[in-house]
């Protein structure tokens, strides 16, 4: 019995290998790492789903020069120490392009390695400024923190015509960059900062900050952070009787933020790159197909990894899949390319320009409020 079974198994596996091998050899492999476990696993899941949808859509439309795309996924746990082994594995396996669907820690650690190996590396939504400074093989498809902070200052001063602002700043690179960008241009828009409180990534209880905000009585709160601290923070502010307008960032751009803060989320505005009411075809298609496929609304993280994969595919289409230098040049040359996060162009540092979308939460959903499309104000740094 066991012999027959074994030989059947052998034949079956031999057949499987024989059938699968030629098809697999033709696929173009794109490295993709994200925090699939650990504290950032929620964003990791969105990131992977956004990337998978991009690959699926591109393959359904005939792939890249007739070849299918294939993601080679690794889990980085959002830890910098995971980045090196993971990068070396991609390099050892001969991959020619890698996308980071992760936070700044691992992305920053891996960026230099990929640049040295002359492998184009696209950071989908990690925001640390040093990532693209690692070298000209490194690109980013999300806003710099500073750029988003500037957009928020314009929103508050120009669109909302408010003056007195309190900043509630997350004390990591994301929060600090947002705060710095905001302060840099606040004066220009007549915005006066009455106070600033910083909090840590692990904080979920904000009683002391709520009490302080009530004392300072600002017209607007500019809140940085992610949905898992921003959600409780916004809920606690509202429960504590604070009625000032709340302006958040793309860190809140997920349905998880609304499901945590519930009614308290109503009226909160965010600066982001995903417009739910967009008419731009790739953005529309992304939002609709994402929700159909994964049964959850699309978010910024998924849109950013979708964008990064689209950029990779566009470059592979122009430059072929064998030469890192040619792929790099093709990415750098991208201008006014329409993707899930709008019309994008890269500057000489590998940073992106795109319009900032202001979304407001109404009836438990993100809706269009305004677009800030100001190439001077939103210009990313060039060095």
Binding site for other proteins (CB under 8 A): 37, 39, 41-42, 44-45, 171, 197-200, 202-205, 207-209, 211-212, 214-215, 227-228, 231-232, 235-236, 239-241, 256, 259-262
Closest CB to other proteins among residues 193, 332: 193
Q: Kindly tell me which of 92 and 363 has the beta carbon lying closer to other proteins.
A: 363
H-helix or E-strand spanning residue 364: none
Strands 138-140 and 365-372: unpaired
* Closest distance to other proteins from the beta carbon of 258 (Å): 10
Of residues 225 and 282, the one with the C-beta less far from other proteins? 225
Q: Which is nearer to other proteins, 256 or 273 (CB)?
A: 256
Q: How far apart are CA 104 and CA 193, in angstroms?
A: 28
- Please state, in angstroms and rounded to a whole number, the distance separating the CA atoms of residues 159 and 220: 13
Q: State the CB neighbour count (10 A cutoff) for residue 373.
A: 14
Phi first, then psi, for residue 206 (nearest 5°) are: -125, 25
Nearest distance from residue 78's CB to other proteins, in Å?
A: 11
Q: Are 96 and 320 in contact (CB under 8 A)?
A: no
Q: Are the C-beta atoms of residues 170 and 198 closer than 8 Å to each other?
A: yes
Q: Smallest gap, in angstroms, from Cβ of residue 75 to other proteins?
A: 12
Residue closer to other proteins (CB basis): 204 or 367: 204
Closest to other proteins by CB, 34 vs 283, is 34
**Other Cβ atoms within 10 Å of 8 Cβ, number:** 10
- Rounded Cα gap, residues 216 and 142, in angstroms: 33
- Least Å distance, CB 273 to other proteins, is 21
Q: Within 10 A of 11 (CB to CB), how many other CB atoms are there?
A: 10
Please state the closest distance from residue 145 (CB atom) to other proteins, in A. Answer: 18
Residue among 42 and 371 whose Cβ is closer to other proteins: 42
Helices (H), the chain: 2-26, 41-60, 83-92, 104-116, 130-133, 145-154, 173-186, 207-216, 227-239, 255-261, 281-294, 300-319, 324-332
Q: Minimum Å distance from CB 381 to other proteins?
A: 25
Minimum CB separation of residue 178 from other proteins in Å reads: 16
């Amino acid at each position: 019995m066991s012999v027959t079974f074994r030989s059947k198994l052998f034949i079956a596996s031999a057949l499987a290998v024989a059938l699968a091998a030629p098809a697999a050899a033709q696929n173009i492999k794109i490295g993709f790492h994200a925090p699939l476990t650990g504290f950032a696993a929620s964003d990791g899941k969105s990131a992977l789903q956004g990337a998978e949808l991009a690959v699926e859509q591109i393959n359904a439309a005939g792939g890249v020069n007739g070849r299918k795309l294939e993601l080679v996924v690794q889990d980085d746990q959002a830890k910098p120490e995971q980045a090196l082994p993971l990068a070396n594995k991609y390099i050892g396996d001969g991959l020619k392009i890698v996308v980071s669907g992760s936070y700044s820690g691992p992305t920053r650690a891996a960026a230099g390695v990929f640049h040295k190996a002359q492998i184009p590396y696209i950071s989908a939504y990690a925001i640390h400024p040093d990532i693209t400074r690692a070298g000209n093989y490194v690109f980013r498809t999300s806003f710099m923190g500073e750029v988003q902070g500037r957009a928020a200052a314009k929103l508050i001063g120009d669109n909302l015509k408010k003056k007195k602002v309190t900043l509630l700043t997350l004390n990591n690179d994301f929060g600090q960059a947002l705060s710095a960008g905001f302060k840099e241009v606040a004066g220009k828009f007549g915005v006066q900062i009455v106070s600033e409180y910083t909090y840590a990534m692990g904080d979920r209880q904000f009683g002391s900050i709520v009490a302080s905000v009530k004392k300072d009585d600002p017209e607007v709160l500019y809140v940085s952070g992610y949905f898992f601290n921003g959600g409780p923070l916004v809920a606690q502010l509202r429960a504590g009787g604070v009625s000032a307008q709340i302006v958040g960032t793309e860190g809140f751009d997920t349905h998880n933020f609304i499901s945590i803060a519930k009614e308290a989320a109503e009226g909160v505005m965010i600066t982001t790159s995903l417009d739910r009411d967009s008419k731009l075809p790739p953005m529309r298609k992304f939002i609709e197909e994402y929700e159909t496929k994964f049964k959850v609304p699309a978010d910024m993280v998924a849109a950013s990894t979708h964008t990064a994969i689209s950029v990779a595919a566009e470059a592979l289409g122009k430059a072929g899949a064998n030469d890192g230098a040619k792929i790099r040049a093709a990415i750098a040359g991208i201008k006014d390319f329409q993707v899930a996060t709008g019309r994008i162009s890269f500057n000489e540092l590998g940073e992106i320009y795109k319009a900032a979308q202001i979304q407001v939460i109404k009836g438990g959903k993100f809706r269009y409020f305004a677009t800030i499309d100001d190439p001077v104000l939103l210009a990313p740094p060039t060095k």
